Amino acid sequence: MAGWIDTHCHLDAPEFDADRSTERARARAAGVTLCVIPAVCSQEFAAARATAHAFGDAYALGIHPLFTPHSSEADLATLDAQLQAHRTDARLVAVGEIGLDYFVPLDDAWQQRAFHAQLLLAKAHRLPVLLHVRKSVDKVLQHLRATRFDQGGIAHAFNGSLQQARQFLDLGFKLGFGGASTFERATRLRSLVAQLPAEAIVVETDAPDMPPHWLYTTAQQRAQGMAHGRNSPAELPRIAAALAALRGVSMAQWQQQTSANALAVLPRLAPLMHSHAAD
């Protein structure tokens, strides 16, 4: 089952409308076998599903905390209905992207209510979750414990402490690392990558967001008209190489390890990987 798994890639985002097929083909040529495409709001559920089916990838359905200002209880009901309607879809592998965000101002009571409700839906539908944990690790952990969530999942773009990382691992989660780990100034994050158990880490791009250092543009460059570097799933192997270097392991070892970690925490990916291997 050789091949990289991009465990978090918004390939359905409008930033890819002009060249989605080209970018997915470029990623496949680079060795990215599977992308997991998380929806961000109920209006995008169909797009995430269609994109996954078009490219032989996987998807998740959920309401991102940054989209909660435009969501309601009706959207939670839609999520429940869609999880039920597509329960036999082999490409539906998780509930996500869900979680909490304290980097931007939001209606905290409602984002917490929406997150709590989605954890319960994931539990009811027996699916793991893809978690958004920006500036919210402790509160997210509180909700996981309060709901006695036992389906596991991935704490996407993890940037917490080693102690917080261990708490997620104890609850059956893996931790997602991507472009942010490629910046030399991200010393705490890079130290975490080096210290964590090998079975704790999955790799991701969060494309088109979270570009690695070689795609990043400065504020001055953007002011001069240079666009913010768009991330792509094709960057995953190079991002993974930066993580492998921090751990002192070979790319072959790292590919095998991170793919095994992804399959362990998102078990519905396994048949999809097998089908690609048989192609």
97 labelled binding-site residue: yes
Q: 45-55 and 73-85 are packed helices; what angle lies between their axes, rounded to 10 degrees?
A: 30
132 assigned ligand-binding residue: yes
Backbone phi and psi for residue 46, each to the nearest 5 degrees, phi listed first: -65, -35
Q: Give the Cα-Cα-Cα angle 134, 39, 97 (nearest 5 degrees).
A: 30
Contact between 63 and 71 under an 8 Å Cβ cutoff? The reply is yes
Rg of the chain (C-alpha set): 17
Would you say 59 and 28 are in contact if contact means Cβ atoms under 8 Å apart?
no
Residue partners of 31: CB distance under 8 A and separation at least 6 = 2, 3, 4, 237, 255
Distance CA 103, CA 222 (A): 22
Calculated CA dihedral for residues 88, 49, 257, 142, nearest 10 degrees: -80
Q: Are 82 and 31 in contact (CB under 8 A)?
A: no
Q: Does the annotation list 206 as a binding residue?
A: yes
| Number of Cα atoms under 13 Å in the Cβ half of residue 144 | 29
- For residue 154, give the H/E element and its range: strand 153-156
Enter the DSSP assignment of 32.
E
Structural tokens at position 248: 């002192």
Q: Give dist(CA 20, CA 154) in Å, integer.
A: 25
Q: Known binding site for a divalent metal cation: residues?
A: 8, 10, 97, 132, 156, 206
Q: Known binding site: residues?
A: 8, 10, 97, 132, 156, 206
